[in-house]
Structure 1
Amino acid sequence: MAETKTESLVLEPGTVIKPIITHEEVKLLVERLYGISVLELEELNGYDDKNYKIIEDPNVKNPLITNHSTEGYVLKIMNSMDSQNLSVVEAQNEIMNFITARSITCPRPIRNIFGHLYSIERLGDRSHAVRLLEYVPGTLLKDVQASDALLYQLGEFVANLDNKLQNFNHSGLVTREHIWMLSKVPELDKFKYVIKDAEKLDLVEEVIEEYKYAVVPNYDELEKGVIHGDINEMNILVEKNPAGKTEYRIAGVLDFGDIQYSYLVFELAISMTYMMLVTGEVRSGGVVLAGYSINRRLPAQDLRLLKTLISARLVQSLVLGAYSIEQDPNNKYVTSTERANGWDLLKKLRKTKYSADEQDPTDWQTIANEYLTRS
C-alpha cells in the first residue's frame, strides 16, 4: 500500500520541482524498468513534469514484454512535489482504466517488469514517480480549426466525461492540493510579482479579489465530484468525421495530471476558458456551454459564477505562465495562444458597458440558447 501524505503540497515561489534528466538517461531508465530498447525518443510538452514519446526497436525482442503498443509509448516522469503523494499517482492510473472501460478513449498505464504501474526513481537529489502509458494516436484540437460545431461537441464531451466520473472515487483525490487547481486562485497573491505592467497587475488583483468575495463564500452551494481539471486544446484528441457533417469530431482525452475532487462548474469554466483562448472570441464560451447543457444541467448559482471563474482561470494561467518563463525561459508548455490572446481576452471579459446595439459577449446562456435554436 502506498504511503500517502496529507499535508498541503502547494507550489511556493522559487521552488524547482521539474525533473532533470538527459535523453540518454531516459533511454536507460526505460530499458531498466520496462525492458524496452528505444529506437526513437521525442520530448513532449510538460509544465512541471517530463514527458517523452518512445518508439521501441522492433529488432530487440524482450521476453518480459507480453503486449507491445504498436503506436509507441509515453514515459511520464512526475515532478518531485506531486511524486510525494503516491495515492494521486494511483488515482491517475485508476481513472484512465475506469474511463477506458466506459468507452472514452484515453491512454492506458503499462506495468513495468516488476508488475507495478509506477515506480519511484531518484533523479539527482529528488525522487520522481515514473510511469509508462500507451501512446494514443490522433490529432490535437490545437492543430485544427475550432469550428462552432467542434466547440459544441467539446461541451457535450466534457459533460459526458463528468457524468461518468461521478461514479469514480479515490481517497487520494479528496485531500489533494495543487497550485493549478482553480480553488487555489487566492494563492496567486504570492506569484503576482512576476507581472511588471501596472495595468495588467491591476486586472490580476481585481480578479483575485473578486474570486475571494464572489466564489469562496459560495463553495458550499456548488456540486462536487471528480473532474479532469485541465480540458484544453492540447489535451483533447480529434479525428476526421466519417459522417462528413463536420470535418472533425472529438475522439478522446489526454493528461490526467490535474485530476481532483472539486467543483463541477470548475470543469466547465476551464473548458470554456481554453476554447476562448483558441478562438480569441468570448462568445465561443457560449457554444461550449450549449453542448455541455445537453448532457448536464447547470444550476443558476453556477451560471452566475462563470464570468468570475473564467476570468480567474485566465489570470491563473497568465500569472503562473509568466512565473514559469521567469524560472525557465525555454519552457515550451506556456502556449502561444495564452501569451497572444490571454490579456486581450481578459480585458474583454472585464468590460462592463456596451452600446445599445452591442451584445454582451459574456452572456453565454443567451448565446447558448441561440445556438441551440439555430441547430
Structure 2
Amino acid sequence: MGDRKPSLVLEPGTVIKPVIDHEEVKLLVERLYGISVLELTELNGYDDKNYKIIEDPNVKNPLIVNHSPYGYVLKIMNSMDSQNLGVVEAQNEIMNYLTTRSVTCPKPVRNVFGHLYSLEIISGKRHAVRLLEYVPGELLKDVPRSEALFYQLGEFVANLDNKLQNFNHSGLVEREHIWMLSKVPDLDNFKYVIKDAEKLDLAEEVIEEYKYAVVPRLEELEKGVIHGDVNEMNIIVGLKPGENKTDYRVTGIIDFGDIQYSYYVFELAISMTYMMLLTGDLRTAGIVLAGYTVNRRLPDDEYRLLKTLISARLVQSLILGAYTIEQDPNNTYVTSTEKANGWELLRRIRKTKPNPEGDDTDWKTIATEYLTRS
C-alpha cells in the first residue's frame, strides 16, 4: 500500500476552488486537447470549476478521433480533492464502467499525452484537469415536475446502485470528504456560521441524534460505491419523440465528484432530500422511495434511519451552504432551492410544525399507497 496519506477533509477558512479566467481556460483546452474554443460557458460548480465547450469546427483537431457532437465539459477540480489522484482515477473509471452498462453519463476524453487527466498549476495551486463528453438533455430542476418523474428517479437511483455493486476502486477506500453523510459529526466544526439561535438548536439536535442513532449502526448497513450527490442539478431528463411536452423521463446522470465507498441507504436518503427541497413537499420523498424499492429492497432497520438521515443531510447542506457563502459570497450554486426552504422543511420533519392532515414523513406508507394506486 505504501505510505498512507492523511485524511483530506475541509477545515474552516480553507479556500479550495480554482481561480482562473476564461482566456486562461481557452489556452488550457488548446494546450491539453488541441481544441480551439468557439463557445465557452461556465457551468455551476460547488468547489470545482466547470465549463461547457463547443469546439471550432473550422479548426481541425486530429488528436480527438471521435468528436462529441454536443460539445465537452472541462472540469478543473478543487485543490483539496486534486491531492487524491486515486479519487480522480476512480471517477474516470466509474464513468467508463457505467457507460458500458447502459447508464448515460459523461465519458472522459484523453488529452494530448494520452491521459484521462493532468495536474496543472493554476494561480499557484495544483488542480486536476479533465475533459468529458457533454451529456445532452435538460436538468431535472428546469422541467415540469410530476409524481411519475420522481418515481422514475427512485427507480433510476436503485438501478444505479445495483450496477455499482460490482464496482470497486482502491482510490475510494480511504476517501473522506466533508460532504459525505458519514461526516455529519464533523459539522460541529462549522456550525458557528448559523447565527440564529433557533436554527442552531435545531441543527445541534439533528447532529446529536445522528451520533447516537446512526453512528453505532453503521457496521450493520450494506456498503458499496455510491454516486453520493443525486440532486436536481445532476439528473438529466428528456422527452421521447412525440411525447407530451410535460412528460419528461430520467435519461442520465452527471457529476461524479462525490463518489465514495459508503452506504446504499445514504444514497437513497440524499436523493429523497433533494427532491423534497425541489418541490417543498415532504411527500415527494415517499414517491422517490416507491420507485427505489421496486428495484432494490430496503431492510426495515434502514427504513427506520431515513428520517434521521434526511434531517442530517438537510443540516449538512444548510451549514456547509452558509459556510460556503461566508467564504465566497458570489457562489451562485449555493443560493438555490435548499436555502429557500431547507429550514422550513427541517422544522416540519422534526415536527415543530405538526401537519393536521397526517404524518407526511411516513414515507413508507406514502410509497405503498402510491404503488397501490399505480
Same fold flag (TM > 0.5): yes
* 1:109 and 2:108 matched: yes
Shift of 1:277: 0.3
* 1:169 and 2:141 matched: no
Shift of 1:20: 0.7
Q: For 1:21-170, list aligned pairs within 5 A.
A: 21-170=20-169
Partner of 1:266: 266
Partner of 2:283: 283
Runs of 4+ aligned structure 1 residues displaced above 3 Å come to: 2-6, 241-246, 352-355
Contact kept, 8 Å, 2:8 with 2:80, in 1: the verdict is: yes
Whole-angstrom distance in 2 between the partners of 1:96 and 1:149: 27
Whole-angstrom distance in 1 between the partners of 2:126 and 2:373: 54
Query: In the TM superposition, what whole-angstrom CA distance separates every residue of 1:175-202 from its partner, at most 9, and x where no partner exists?
Result: 0000000000011111111111111111
Q: CA RMSD, aligned part only?
A: 1.6
Partner of 2:222: 223
Contact kept, 8 Å, 2:348 with 2:354, in 1: the verdict is: no
Contact kept, 8 Å, 1:5 with 1:85, in 2: the verdict is: no
Query: In the TM superposition, what whole-angstrom CA distance separates every residue of 1:81-108 from its partner, at most 9, and x where no partner exists?
Result: 0001001000000000000100010000
Whole-angstrom distance in 1 between the partners of 2:332 and 2:51: 14
State the SS of the aligned residue for 1:179.
Answer: coil
Shift of 1:69: 1.1
Whole-angstrom distance in 1 between the partners of 2:357 and 2:69: 53
Taking a change above 3 Å as real, the CA distance of residues 85 and 55 of structure 1, as seen in their structure-2 partners, is same
* 1:189 and 2:174 matched: no
Taking a change above 3 Å as real, the CA distance of residues 243 and 213 of structure 1, as seen in their structure-2 partners, is farther
State the SS of the aligned residue for 1:88.
Answer: helix
State the SS of the aligned residue for 2:13.
Answer: coil
Whole-angstrom distance in 2 between the partners of 1:4 and 1:270: 33
Query: In the TM superposition, what whole-angstrom CA distance separates every residue of 1:51-108 from its partner, at most 9, and x where no partner exists?
Result: 0000111111122222211111000000010001001000000000000100010000
How many equivalent pairs are there?
373
Structure 2: any 5+ residue segments left out of the alignment? none
* 1:329 and 2:329 matched: yes
Moved more, 357-366 or 187-196: 357-366
Taking a change above 3 Å as real, the CA distance of residues 5 and 233 of structure 1, as seen in their structure-2 partners, is farther
Partner of 1:341: 341
Contact kept, 8 Å, 2:150 with 2:288, in 1: the verdict is: yes
Shift of 1:125: 1.9
Shift of 1:361: 0.8
Taking a change above 3 Å as real, the CA distance of residues 243 and 335 of structure 1, as seen in their structure-2 partners, is farther
Whole-angstrom distance in 2 between the partners of 1:147 and 1:80: 39
Structure 1: any 5+ residue segments left out of the alignment? none
Q: For 1:297-308, list aligned pairs within 5 A.
A: 297-308=297-308
Shift of 1:7: 1.8
Query: In the TM superposition, what whole-angstrom CA distance separates every residue of 1:90-131 from its partner, at most 9, and x where no partner exists?
Result: 000000000010001000000001000000001122100000
Identity across the alignment (%): 79
Taking a change above 3 Å as real, the CA distance of residues 106 and 75 of structure 1, as seen in their structure-2 partners, is same
Contact kept, 8 Å, 1:4 with 1:86, in 2: the verdict is: no
Shift of 1:4: 8.5
Contact kept, 8 Å, 2:347 with 2:353, in 1: the verdict is: no
Partner of 1:17: 16
Whole-angstrom distance in 2 between the partners of 1:268 and 1:112: 35
Taking a change above 3 Å as real, the CA distance of residues 156 and 335 of structure 1, as seen in their structure-2 partners, is farther
Whole-angstrom distance in 2 between the partners of 1:44 and 1:56: 16
Partner of 2:232: 233
Partner of 1:6: 5
State the SS of the aligned residue for 1:71.
Answer: coil
Contact kept, 8 Å, 2:91 with 2:257, in 1: the verdict is: yes
State the SS of the aligned residue for 2:291.
Answer: helix
Taking a change above 3 Å as real, the CA distance of residues 272 and 243 of structure 1, as seen in their structure-2 partners, is farther
